[in-house]
Amino acid sequence: MQILVVEDEDEIADPLVEGLRREGFEVSRAATGREALDAPLPDLVLLDLRLPDIDGIEVCRELRSRSDVPIIVVSARGEEVDRVVGLELGADDYVVKPFGFRELLARIRAVMRRTRPEAGDDSLRVGTLEIDPRARRASLDGRELALTTKEFDLLSLLASDPGAVIGRQQILREVWNTDWLGPTKTVDVHVASLRRKLGDPHWIETVRGVGLRLAPQT
């Protein structure tokens, strides 16, 4: 699936593009409205409204006049009038900055299910662990796990690339929406709780000085 990220700020666009690619999407970026309009049509557009050349509202209007490509507006302009105008012009969803990456990912998948039913099931399956992002439910060996919001987001992040080590700063950024560089005891507390609920501490391995990884148990 091809996503076009239309965002002029590198500090926002770069981690967003990296995160989406890590989730398995093909991603291209446009830093201006003109670049967005000249780019090949993707499967979905993430569109910032404040662009250096053309207002994002105009870009949204032009894209919608050309095709029915799903458009998610991602903007710091969170006033109700901006949301209404964006949606009336054909945007499929509207996300206000700052946003959590897992929230945005859920919005992308929800829009694709709604507009492209053929996109299919997006459940994550790792061994006997199954995660349904749409319903925000997780089960192990057929038994549903009672997870808090952050526990679910953390488990989903680890399950998105089982076996790969995910750094603590990335976890904080994507689950807690922060770039905090101090102690990360909050992560440890949630990992300890997840290990208890999974019934086997070996499901989540700590790689000292690096991060965490999900290790399927047989």
> What does the pLDDT read at residue 42?
94
Sheet harboring 143-144: ordered strands across? Answer: 124-126, 129-132, 137-140, 143-144
- Is 146 found in the same domain as 87? no
Assess whether pLDDT exceeds 70 at residue 179.
no
- Is 198 found in the same domain as 114? no
- Is 161 found in the same domain as 86? no
Domain end (from 68, 91, 119): 119
Assess whether pLDDT exceeds 60 at residue 182.
no
pLDDT digits (tens, 9 = 90+) for 96-127: 887 888 778 888 887 887 777 555 556 788 88
- Who's near 86: CB < 8 A, 6+ residues apart? 49, 57, 60, 73, 75, 94
pLDDT digits (tens, 9 = 90+) for 33-42: 999 999 999 9
Assess whether pLDDT exceeds 90 at residue 186.
no
Mean pLDDT within 113-142: 79
- Is 159 found in the same domain as 100? no
The CATH number covering residue 162 comes to: 1.10.10.10
Write down the H helix ranges in the chain: 10-22, 33-38, 56-66, 80-88, 101-115, 149-159, 168-175, 185-198
| Greater model confidence, 93 or 121 | 93
Domain end (from 119, 138, 167): 119
> What does the pLDDT read at residue 3?
96
SS percent in the chain: helix, strand, coil, step 5: 45, 20, 35
> How far apart are alpha carbons 147 and 152 in whole angstroms?
6
- In one-letter notation, the amino acid at residue 119 is A
> How far apart are alpha carbons 113 and 32 in whole angstroms?
28
Least confident window among 133-142, 146-155, 205-214? 133-142
- Is 137 found in the same domain as 96? no
Please state the domain count of the chain: 2
Domain end (from 62, 96, 119): 119
pLDDT digits (tens, 9 = 90+) for 15-31: 999 989 888 889 999 99
> What does the pLDDT read at residue 41?
92
- Is 65 found in the same domain as 39? yes
- Is 191 found in the same domain as 148? yes
- Is 79 found in the same domain as 175? no
Structure tokens at 76: 């710091």
> How far apart are alpha carbons 72 and 84 in whole angstroms?
13
> What does the pLDDT read at residue 190?
94
> What does the pLDDT read at residue 192?
95
Residue 88, domain extent: 2-119
Assess whether pLDDT exceeds 70 at residue 143.
yes
The CATH number covering residue 80 comes to: 3.40.50.2300
Of all residues in the chain, the percent with pLDDT exceeding 90 is 43
- Is 141 found in the same domain as 108? no
Of 159, 164, 166, nearest to 145 (Cα)?
A: 159
Mean pLDDT within 79-95: 73
> What does the pLDDT read at residue 107?
83
pTM for the structure as a whole: 0.60
> How far apart are alpha carbons 23 and 160 in whole angstroms?
7
